[in-house]
Protein backbone atom coordinates (compact mmCIF):
# COMPACT_ATOMS: atom_id res chain seq x y z
CA UNK A 1 0.00 0.00 0.00
CA UNK A 2 1.82 3.07 -1.14
CA UNK A 3 -0.86 5.68 -1.32
CA UNK A 4 0.64 9.13 -1.52
CA UNK A 5 0.89 10.97 1.79
CA UNK A 6 -0.63 14.06 0.23
CA UNK A 7 -2.80 13.97 -2.83
CA UNK A 8 -4.84 17.07 -3.57
CA UNK A 9 -6.45 18.11 -6.83
CA UNK A 10 -7.83 21.44 -7.95
CA UNK A 11 -7.39 23.00 -4.51
CA UNK A 12 -8.77 26.54 -4.58
CA UNK A 13 -9.06 29.19 -1.89
CA UNK A 14 -10.52 32.64 -2.20
CA UNK A 15 -10.44 35.47 0.33
CA UNK A 16 -13.14 37.87 -0.76
CA UNK A 17 -12.76 38.19 -4.53
CA UNK A 18 -9.05 37.44 -4.43
CA UNK A 19 -8.11 33.93 -5.45
CA UNK A 20 -5.11 33.06 -3.33
CA UNK A 21 -4.75 29.44 -4.38
CA UNK A 22 -5.98 28.50 -7.81
CA UNK A 23 -6.55 24.84 -8.71
CA UNK A 24 -3.38 23.49 -7.20
CA UNK A 25 -2.76 19.80 -7.73
CA UNK A 26 -0.08 18.32 -5.59
CA UNK A 27 1.12 14.87 -4.76
CA UNK A 28 3.71 13.91 -2.17
CA UNK A 29 4.89 10.32 -1.76
CA UNK A 30 5.40 8.73 1.63
CA UNK A 31 8.86 9.25 3.08
CA UNK A 32 9.56 12.06 0.65
CA UNK A 33 10.87 15.51 1.50
CA UNK A 34 8.87 17.80 -0.73
CA UNK A 35 9.96 21.39 -1.14
CA UNK A 36 7.29 24.00 -1.58
CA UNK A 37 8.60 27.14 -3.19
CA UNK A 38 7.34 30.43 -4.43
CA UNK A 39 7.60 34.15 -3.81
CA UNK A 40 5.98 35.87 -0.85
CA UNK A 41 2.20 35.89 -1.06
CA UNK A 42 2.11 33.13 -3.63
CA UNK A 43 -0.25 30.96 -1.58
CA UNK A 44 2.17 28.54 0.07
CA UNK A 45 0.92 29.06 3.60
CA UNK A 46 -2.72 28.95 2.49
CA UNK A 47 -2.13 25.66 0.69
CA UNK A 48 -0.42 24.15 3.73
CA UNK A 49 -3.26 25.31 5.96
CA UNK A 50 -5.79 23.65 3.68
CA UNK A 51 -3.79 20.43 3.75
CA UNK A 52 -3.81 20.27 7.54
CA UNK A 53 -7.45 21.31 7.83
CA UNK A 54 -6.97 24.82 9.19
CA UNK A 55 -8.71 26.36 6.20
CA UNK A 56 -11.72 25.08 4.35
CA UNK A 57 -10.99 24.88 0.59
CA UNK A 58 -13.43 26.70 -1.70
CA UNK A 59 -12.83 24.16 -4.41
CA UNK A 60 -11.04 20.92 -5.11
CA UNK A 61 -10.52 17.93 -2.92
CA UNK A 62 -7.82 15.81 -1.50
CA UNK A 63 -6.67 13.14 0.84
CA UNK A 64 -3.96 13.42 3.43
CA UNK A 65 -2.63 10.11 4.79
CA UNK A 66 -5.74 8.49 3.33
CA UNK A 67 -8.16 10.88 5.06
CA UNK A 68 -10.43 13.34 3.31
CA UNK A 69 -9.29 16.91 4.00
CA UNK A 70 -12.86 18.16 4.35
CA UNK A 71 -14.60 15.51 6.40
CA UNK A 72 -11.82 13.81 8.36
CA UNK A 73 -10.04 16.78 9.78
CA UNK A 74 -9.74 15.32 13.26
CA UNK A 75 -8.05 12.17 12.04
CA UNK A 76 -5.61 14.30 10.04
CA UNK A 77 -5.05 16.47 13.12
CA UNK A 78 -3.63 13.58 15.09
CA UNK A 79 -1.32 12.25 12.40
CA UNK A 80 0.09 15.52 11.16
CA UNK A 81 2.61 17.81 12.76
CA UNK A 82 2.37 21.43 11.64
CA UNK A 83 5.09 23.95 12.37
CA UNK A 84 3.79 27.42 11.72
CA UNK A 85 5.74 30.18 10.07
CA UNK A 86 5.64 32.35 13.14
CA UNK A 87 6.58 30.79 16.49
CA UNK A 88 3.19 29.90 17.84
CA UNK A 89 3.83 28.14 21.08
CA UNK A 90 3.24 30.02 24.30
CA UNK A 91 5.93 32.56 25.02
CA UNK A 92 4.71 33.01 28.57
CA UNK A 93 5.08 29.32 29.29
CA UNK A 94 8.41 27.62 29.97
CA UNK A 95 9.90 25.14 27.52
CA UNK A 96 8.83 22.25 29.69
CA UNK A 97 5.31 23.60 30.20
CA UNK A 98 4.87 23.99 26.45
CA UNK A 99 5.95 20.41 25.84
CA UNK A 100 3.72 19.10 28.62
CA UNK A 101 0.81 20.99 27.11
CA UNK A 102 1.38 19.45 23.69
CA UNK A 103 1.88 15.97 25.15
CA UNK A 104 -1.36 16.37 27.11
CA UNK A 105 -3.33 17.47 24.06
CA UNK A 106 -2.20 14.46 22.06
CA UNK A 107 -3.01 12.21 25.00
CA UNK A 108 0.54 10.86 25.22
CA UNK A 109 1.34 8.81 28.31
CA UNK A 110 3.31 8.99 30.43
CA UNK A 111 3.60 12.72 29.89
CA UNK A 112 6.49 13.08 32.34
CA UNK A 113 8.79 10.59 30.66
CA UNK A 114 7.99 11.70 27.11
CA UNK A 115 8.66 15.33 27.96
CA UNK A 116 11.86 14.40 29.78
CA UNK A 117 13.09 12.42 26.79
CA UNK A 118 12.23 15.21 24.39
CA UNK A 119 14.06 17.75 26.54
CA UNK A 120 17.10 15.48 26.64
CA UNK A 121 17.03 14.98 22.85
CA UNK A 122 16.86 18.74 22.41
CA UNK A 123 19.65 19.34 24.87
CA UNK A 124 17.35 21.66 26.78
CA UNK A 125 17.07 19.75 30.03
CA UNK A 126 19.06 22.37 31.92
CA UNK A 127 16.99 25.22 30.49
CA UNK A 128 13.60 23.59 30.76
CA UNK A 129 12.39 26.22 33.21
CA UNK A 130 13.16 29.08 30.86
CA UNK A 131 10.27 30.98 29.26
CA UNK A 132 9.88 30.08 25.61
CA UNK A 133 9.65 33.78 24.79
CA UNK A 134 13.20 34.31 26.04
CA UNK A 135 14.72 31.80 23.61
CA UNK A 136 16.70 32.91 20.56
CA UNK A 137 15.28 32.33 17.08
CA UNK A 138 17.27 29.16 16.57
CA UNK A 139 16.20 27.63 19.86
CA UNK A 140 12.59 28.61 19.32
CA UNK A 141 12.71 26.80 16.03
CA UNK A 142 14.20 23.69 17.64
CA UNK A 143 11.59 23.77 20.37
CA UNK A 144 8.80 24.16 17.83
CA UNK A 145 10.11 21.26 15.76
CA UNK A 146 10.47 19.06 18.83
CA UNK A 147 6.92 19.90 19.92
CA UNK A 148 5.58 19.14 16.43
CA UNK A 149 7.18 15.71 16.15
CA UNK A 150 6.65 14.60 19.73
CA UNK A 151 3.52 12.68 18.82
CA UNK A 152 5.38 10.90 15.98
CA UNK A 153 3.29 12.28 13.11
CA UNK A 154 3.27 10.52 9.75
CA UNK A 155 3.36 13.82 7.95
CA UNK A 156 5.24 16.94 8.93
CA UNK A 157 4.28 20.28 7.46
CA UNK A 158 6.87 23.03 7.86
CA UNK A 159 6.05 26.57 6.85
CA UNK A 160 9.29 28.50 6.25
CA UNK A 161 10.89 26.86 9.25
CA UNK A 162 14.34 28.39 8.93
CA UNK A 163 13.49 32.06 8.50
CA UNK A 164 15.82 34.05 10.73
CA UNK A 165 17.95 31.10 11.78
CA UNK A 166 21.75 31.06 11.47
CA UNK A 167 23.50 28.73 8.94
CA UNK A 168 24.74 26.23 11.48
CA UNK A 169 21.31 25.84 13.05
CA UNK A 170 19.84 25.52 9.56
CA UNK A 171 22.29 22.76 8.70
CA UNK A 172 21.41 20.88 11.88
CA UNK A 173 17.74 21.41 11.22
CA UNK A 174 18.00 19.86 7.78
CA UNK A 175 20.04 16.94 9.05
CA UNK A 176 17.20 16.28 11.48
CA UNK A 177 14.62 16.52 8.69
CA UNK A 178 16.53 13.94 6.66
CA UNK A 179 16.79 11.62 9.65
CA UNK A 180 13.04 11.86 10.17
CA UNK A 181 12.35 11.19 6.49
CA UNK A 182 14.69 8.18 6.56
CA UNK A 183 12.54 6.80 9.39
CA UNK A 184 9.50 7.07 7.12
CA UNK A 185 8.09 10.48 7.94
CA UNK A 186 6.81 12.50 5.01
CA UNK A 187 7.82 16.16 5.02
CA UNK A 188 6.41 19.11 3.13
CA UNK A 189 8.53 22.20 3.67
CA UNK A 190 8.06 25.66 2.27
CA UNK A 191 11.12 27.84 1.84
CA UNK A 192 12.70 30.77 0.05
CA UNK A 193 16.24 29.42 0.21
CA UNK A 194 17.75 27.79 -2.86
CA UNK A 195 20.16 25.64 -0.90
CA UNK A 196 17.22 24.30 1.07
CA UNK A 197 15.27 23.60 -2.09
CA UNK A 198 18.21 21.56 -3.31
CA UNK A 199 18.04 19.46 -0.17
CA UNK A 200 14.52 18.31 -1.03
CA UNK A 201 13.71 15.14 -2.93
CA UNK A 202 11.22 16.95 -5.08
CA UNK A 203 10.19 20.57 -5.39
CA UNK A 204 6.91 22.24 -6.21
CA UNK A 205 6.91 25.84 -7.34
CA UNK A 206 3.81 27.94 -6.81
CA UNK A 207 3.35 31.42 -8.25
CA UNK A 208 0.30 33.62 -7.69
CA UNK A 209 -1.71 30.64 -6.59
CA UNK A 210 -0.75 28.47 -9.56
CA UNK A 211 1.55 25.48 -9.38
CA UNK A 212 3.94 26.20 -12.25
CA UNK A 213 6.75 23.65 -11.89
CA UNK A 214 7.37 20.41 -10.09
CA UNK A 215 9.82 17.53 -10.07
CA UNK A 216 13.31 16.86 -8.84
CA UNK A 217 15.73 19.76 -8.89
CA UNK A 218 17.32 18.41 -12.10
CA UNK A 219 13.92 18.04 -13.74
CA UNK A 220 12.83 21.54 -12.82
CA UNK A 221 16.09 23.03 -14.10
CA UNK A 222 15.89 20.99 -17.31
CA UNK A 223 12.21 21.78 -17.91
CA UNK A 224 12.90 25.48 -17.59
CA UNK A 225 14.94 25.24 -20.83
CA UNK A 226 17.41 27.95 -19.90
CA UNK A 227 20.92 28.50 -21.18
CA UNK A 228 23.50 30.09 -18.91
CA UNK A 229 26.78 31.71 -19.88
CA UNK A 230 29.35 33.10 -17.49
CA UNK A 231 31.47 36.12 -18.28
CA UNK A 232 34.68 36.60 -16.34
CA UNK A 233 37.27 39.36 -16.47
CA UNK A 234 37.95 42.77 -15.05
CA UNK A 235 35.43 44.66 -17.10
CA UNK A 236 32.25 42.78 -16.11
CA UNK A 237 30.32 45.88 -14.86
CA UNK A 238 30.59 47.46 -18.29
CA UNK A 239 29.64 44.15 -19.89
CA UNK A 240 26.56 44.03 -17.68
CA UNK A 241 25.49 47.50 -18.87
CA UNK A 242 25.95 46.56 -22.51
CA UNK A 243 24.08 43.28 -22.13
CA UNK A 244 21.00 44.88 -20.63
CA UNK A 245 18.21 44.57 -23.15
CA UNK A 246 20.36 42.74 -25.71
CA UNK A 247 18.55 40.05 -27.79
CA UNK A 248 18.20 36.73 -25.96
CA UNK A 249 19.38 38.13 -22.61
CA UNK A 250 16.78 37.71 -19.86
CA UNK A 251 18.73 37.79 -16.63
CA UNK A 252 22.07 39.31 -15.71
CA UNK A 253 23.38 38.62 -12.25
CA UNK A 254 26.85 39.45 -10.94
CA UNK A 255 28.52 36.87 -8.70
CA UNK A 256 31.75 38.45 -7.49
CA UNK A 257 33.87 39.01 -10.57
CA UNK A 258 31.71 36.73 -12.70
CA UNK A 259 28.55 37.64 -14.54
CA UNK A 260 25.80 35.06 -15.04
CA UNK A 261 23.78 35.70 -18.16
CA UNK A 262 20.64 33.63 -18.67
CA UNK A 263 18.10 33.32 -21.45
CA UNK A 264 15.71 30.91 -23.15
CA UNK A 265 16.82 31.52 -26.74
CA UNK A 266 20.24 29.83 -26.67
CA UNK A 267 21.40 31.06 -30.12
CA UNK A 268 20.45 34.69 -29.58
CA UNK A 269 21.94 34.66 -26.08
CA UNK A 270 25.22 33.20 -27.31
CA UNK A 271 25.47 35.80 -30.09
CA UNK A 272 24.84 38.72 -27.73
CA UNK A 273 27.23 37.47 -25.05
CA UNK A 274 30.05 36.77 -27.50
CA UNK A 275 29.69 40.22 -29.03
CA UNK A 276 29.82 41.93 -25.64
CA UNK A 277 32.73 39.70 -24.54
CA UNK A 278 34.75 40.86 -27.56
CA UNK A 279 33.88 44.50 -26.99
CA UNK A 280 34.74 44.50 -23.29
CA UNK A 281 37.63 42.06 -23.27
CA UNK A 282 35.92 39.53 -21.03
CA UNK A 283 35.79 35.77 -21.47
CA UNK A 284 32.52 33.88 -22.04
CA UNK A 285 32.01 30.24 -21.07
CA UNK A 286 28.94 27.98 -20.84
CA UNK A 287 27.79 27.03 -17.32
CA UNK A 288 25.10 24.99 -15.59
CA UNK A 289 21.86 26.82 -15.01
CA UNK A 290 21.28 27.20 -11.29
CA UNK A 291 17.98 26.65 -9.50
CA UNK A 292 17.99 30.31 -8.54
CA UNK A 293 18.12 31.35 -12.20
CA UNK A 294 15.13 29.11 -12.83
CA UNK A 295 13.19 30.61 -9.94
CA UNK A 296 13.91 34.16 -11.04
CA UNK A 297 12.59 33.25 -14.45
CA UNK A 298 9.50 31.61 -12.95
CA UNK A 299 8.89 34.67 -10.80
CA UNK A 300 9.26 37.02 -13.77
CA UNK A 301 6.91 34.85 -15.83
CA UNK A 302 4.45 34.98 -12.97
CA UNK A 303 4.54 38.77 -12.82
CA UNK A 304 4.13 39.05 -16.58
CA UNK A 305 1.15 36.70 -16.55
Partner 1 sequence: MSGRFLSLARLWALLTKETIQMRRDRLTFGMMLGIPLLQLMLFGFAINTDPKELPAALVAPTQDRFTRAMVSALELTGYYRFVAPDATAAEAEAMITRGDVAFVVTVPSDFGRRVARGEAPTILIEADATDPSVASGAVSTLGTVAAEALLRESGGEAAAEDEAARRLSVIVHRRYNPEGITQYNIVPGLLGVILQLTMVMMTAMALTRETERGTMENLLSMPATPLEIMLGKVVPYLAVGAVQVVVVLVAARTLFSIPFVGSLPLLLVGVLVFVLALVILGYLISTVARTQMQAMQLTFFFFLPSLMLSGFMFPFRGMPGWAQTLGEIFPLTHFLRLIRAVMLKGADAATVAGPMAALGLFVLLLSGAALLRFRRTLD
Could you list the residues that contact partner 1 (CB under 8 A)? 49, 52-56, 73-74, 77-78, 80, 82, 84, 86-93, 97, 100-107, 109
| Closer of 106 and 193 to partner 1 (Cβ) | 106
| Cα torsion through 8, 63, 3, 201, rounded to 10 | 50
In three-state secondary structure terms, 101 is: helix
Q: How far is CA 8 from its chain centroid?
A: 18
Shortest distance (Å) from residue 99 CB to partner 1: 11
Shortest distance (Å) from residue 148 CB to partner 1: 9
Shortest distance (Å) from residue 208 CB to partner 1: 21
Shortest distance (Å) from residue 210 CB to partner 1: 22
Whether residue 213 contacts residue 299, with contact meaning beta carbons closer than 8 Å, is answered with: no
CA distances from 147 to 36, 99, 103, 155, 166 (A): 22, 6, 8, 14, 20
Strand order across the beta sheet in which 59-64 lies: 18-28, 6-15, 59-64, 67-68
Other CB atoms within 10 Å distance of the CB of residue 266: 15
| Closer of 101 and 193 to partner 1 (Cβ) | 101
Backbone angles phi, psi at 88, to 5 degrees: -125, 30
| Closer of 30 and 73 to partner 1 (Cβ) | 73
Shortest distance (Å) from residue 35 CB to partner 1: 21
| Closer of 156 and 294 to partner 1 (Cβ) | 156
| Closer of 80 and 185 to partner 1 (Cβ) | 80
Amino acid sequence: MTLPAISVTGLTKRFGDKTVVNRVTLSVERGEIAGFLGPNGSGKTTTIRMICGLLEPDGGEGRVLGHDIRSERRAINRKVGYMTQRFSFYEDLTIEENLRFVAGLYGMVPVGRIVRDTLADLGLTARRGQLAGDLSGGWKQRLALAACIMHRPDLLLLDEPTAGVDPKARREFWDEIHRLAADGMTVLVSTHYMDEAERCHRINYISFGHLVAQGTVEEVVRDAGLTTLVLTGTNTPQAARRLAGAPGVEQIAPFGNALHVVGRDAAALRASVERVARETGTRAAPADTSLEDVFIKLMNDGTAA
